[in-house]
Structures are given as structure tokens and as C-alpha cells.
Amino acid sequence: MKKRTLLMIPGPIEFEPAVLSAMGEPTSSHVDPEFIDAFGQALERLREITGSTDGQPFVLAGSGTLAMDTAGANLVERGDQALVISTGFFGTRFAAILERYGAEVTTLTAQPGGLPDLNEIEAELRRKAYKVVTITQVDTSTGVLADVASIARLGRQYGALVIVDGVCSVAGEELRMSDWDIDVVLTASQKAVGVPPGLALLVASKRAIDAFQARKSPVANYYADWGNWLPIMQAYEARRPSYFATPAVNLVSALNVSLGQILAEGVDQRVHRHKAMSQACKAAMQALGLGQVPQDPAIAAHTMTAPRYPGELADRPAFLKRVAQEGVVIAGGLHPAIKNEYFRIGHMGTTKIGDVLATVGAIESALNESGYQIEPGSGVAAAAAAYQAS
């Protein structure tokens, strides 16, 4: 039988044909005028999709972790105080990265599925002079959506640089870098940005660049050093050739195609579509009697859903395999404390209602085959109804 699977994990995702064909074009020189133009345009578009008016975009070959690493390497010096607002696995990772560059890190950690409360964050900001505050907008290990606008406001009020990990949110959740006065928005190509894995993306505020330029010690990461990349990004945007390290030519061309599609759809409209997909998926899980990891629907991401397994479901790996046999790939748990208690569905980028319905249908069959009896079609009906109402 023809192998045709629908990839519904929280990244990488399904990609648009035009993006994939840009990947397959003959590779040009990194100083070819057409490529310079595509790179320059991709930088302008990256600024636009993050809601930045005057930020400095960076596009580097690497993954989201390199984007986090780059923010840490350039903005933190030994002995700096850093506050990590953690809603899961990727908050823990940010703390480890900042510590590696010598920061003294305080982490405010929520229970899995929760969000540290704003009063607690403010009390901590009052206690010490933090140089940076990090927030994960959507922690992919819990599906929790942080209130970035409010946390950023607090961070800025106390004079910290605010760094947002938007790997599972940029181009899928509302994020307004300039309006919310954020200093770094970072992401990766393979999620709502809609490009195969391989690009680390950042936009840095003028204040972040000034802080980098005022460093007393050299950046302890040669590749990620903004001193190496700043002139290169500026040159591409000015449509001039330049070189520090070879850019991922095909990925950058594909990025420009995808960002063009995102802007053609409209970022606000795209955020609205992600909400509609999310409501459909979450309504289906509720109709099937499955709880969710986020403790409150108000803090649940719109780019993914993290349903809890029903208690009766004993063989969870077999359930995931059964869903895959139905032609849909979803993901298991990631947060170490609750890893075997839940699974994850991504609905980002190109996802349409038909994809959500197919996914819910596959989950229904797998639940029934796994001995958890549900009314066939009840989840699908709930998803369709929620979609119609959205």
C-alpha cells in the first residue's frame, strides 16, 4: 500500500509544496544576486511576522536550540543574574544554556500544566537585579501558553532584557515584539514558520544589540557571536554580498517562500486559523473523555494539544503505534515528570480542518482497538461542530 502519512506532531510539520520545491532547486552561490535578494527579503519578512518594527533579524543554520544558545551566548556574561520562567522541558533547557555561559540562574517552575503566577514573578524581579528574563511562549512539553505580554511588561518594568522562546509559537500564536517591548524573539524553521528543520531564527531589539555591544567579555561561542553575524545580516538586507560562514542556501530560499505565504495569508488571520484548529482538536478530546495537560483552557496553546491518556489505557506505546497505522503520526509525552501520562498533537502551519478530523478519526480507532470504548465519530463530530462555531 502507498505510504502516505499525515505528520501531526508538534514539529516538524507538514510543509507546503512550494516550500519543498524551493528546497529542491539547484543550489546557488551564497553571493548569487538572486539568493542575496531572497535572503534580504526573508530577513525583512522575519521582522514583520514577529511584529517587530526595528529589530535585527538573524537567520543561522541550526535548530531552535541554537537560537536559544545564541541569545544566551550574546546577552549573558559570567555572574549576570537570569530569571527563567519555566513551564516545562524547554524552560529547563534555557536555564542550562544560560548557566553554561556563566549566568546565575533562578528558575520559577510551574507544576506540569501550570504557569507561574504574575505576583510570584514580580516578587522575584523585585528581589534581584535581573539582566535577562526568559519565557517560553508555548512549552511543547506541556502545551502551556504563557502570557507573554504581561510577563514581558513586568520584566521590562524591572529593567531586564526579555527573551521569548517562540519555537512552538511564532507564526501560530499572537506575538507582538515591538508593541510588547520584547528584546529577543527566537524560533526555528520546522514548526509554524513552515520550513523543514535546519534554521535558527532570531530577532533582537535595539536594546539587546546595545547590551551585546556593551559586553566586557568576548562571546564564548565563536559560531553564534553576533559580532560575526551582524555585518552579514546587515549586508544581505542591503542586498550586498558578504560571508562569514556558509548560509543554508536552499533552506533560506524555502524560508523566504514560506514567509511570503504567511504574509499573504496575514499573520492575524493565521493566528485565527490556528485557534480554530485548536478549538476543534480540543473539543474532540473532551468529547472522547480525555483531559488535557494545561490546567486551564485559558493557558492552553493553539499550536498543539496535549491530551491525557484515559486511566484505563494500559499499553500507551501500542496506542501511538495504532494511530500511526491509521496513517497519522502524533507524539508521545516529553515532560519527564508526566511523560507516560499524555500524548501530543501538533496543528501548526498548513493544518486544515480535514487534517484535524483525520487525526481525531485515527485517535478514535486506536482508542477503540486499545480497549477504551468510545462512540465512533463522537470526537470527529465535536471537532466539526467546534470548527463551525469558530
Please report, as ranges, the residues that interact with ligand PMP according to CB under 6 A: 11, 63-65, 90, 136, 139-140, 165, 167-168, 188
In the complex with ligand PMP, the residue whose CB is nearer, 56 or 189, is 189
Rounded least distance, CB 100 to ligand PMP, Å: 15
DSSP string, 283-321: HHHHHTT--BSSSSGGGB-SSEE-BBPPTT---HHHHHH
In the complex with ligand PMP, the residue whose CB is nearer, 100 or 128, is 100
Could you tell me if 187 and 207 are in contact, meaning their C-beta atoms sit under 8 angstroms apart? Answer: no
The sign of the torsion formed by the CA atoms of 369, 374, 380, 383 equals: negative
For residues 261 and 50, give the distance between their C-alpha atoms in angstroms, rounded to a whole number. Answer: 15
Rounded least distance, CB 63 to ligand PMP, Å: 3
In the complex with ligand PMP, the residue whose CB is nearer, 135 or 356, is 135
In the complex with ligand PMP, the residue whose CB is nearer, 11 or 247, is 11
Could you tell me if 151 and 299 are in contact, meaning their C-beta atoms sit under 8 angstroms apart? Answer: no
Rounded least distance, CB 95 to ligand PMP, Å: 13
In the complex with ligand PMP, the residue whose CB is nearer, 86 or 370, is 86
Q: What is the DSSP letter of 342?
A: B
Which single residue brings its beta carbon nearest to ligand PMP?
64
Question: What phi and psi values does residue 314 have, to the nearest 5 degrees?
Answer: -85, -55
> Can you tell me whether residue 32 is helix, strand or coil?
coil
In the complex with ligand PMP, the residue whose CB is nearer, 90 or 130, is 90
What does each C-alpha distance from 95 to 59, 126, 350 come to in angstroms?
23, 20, 32
β-strand partners of 83: 106, 133
In the complex with ligand PMP, the residue whose CB is nearer, 168 or 357, is 168
Rounded least distance, CB 242 to ligand PMP, Å: 26
| 350-354 LR contacts (CB < 8 Å, sep 24+) | 350/13, 350/14, 350/15, 350/16, 350/194, 351/8, 351/13, 351/14, 351/274, 351/277, 352/277, 353/276, 353/277, 353/280, 353/383, 353/384, 353/387
In the complex with ligand PMP, the residue whose CB is nearer, 80 or 165, is 165
Q: Which helix (H) or strand (E) holds 343?
A: strand 343-346
In the complex with ligand PMP, the residue whose CB is nearer, 90 or 387, is 90
> Can you tell me whether residue 206 is helix, strand or coil?
helix
Could you tell me if 65 and 136 are in contact, meaning their C-beta atoms sit under 8 angstroms apart? Answer: no
Rounded least distance, CB 188 to ligand PMP, Å: 4
| C-alpha cell of residue 159 | 529593567
Rounded least distance, CB 170 to ligand PMP, Å: 10
Rounded least distance, CB 131 to ligand PMP, Å: 21
Rounded least distance, CB 332 to ligand PMP, Å: 13
Rounded least distance, CB 169 to ligand PMP, Å: 8
- Say whether the peptide bond before residue 12 is cis (omega within 30 degrees of 0): yes
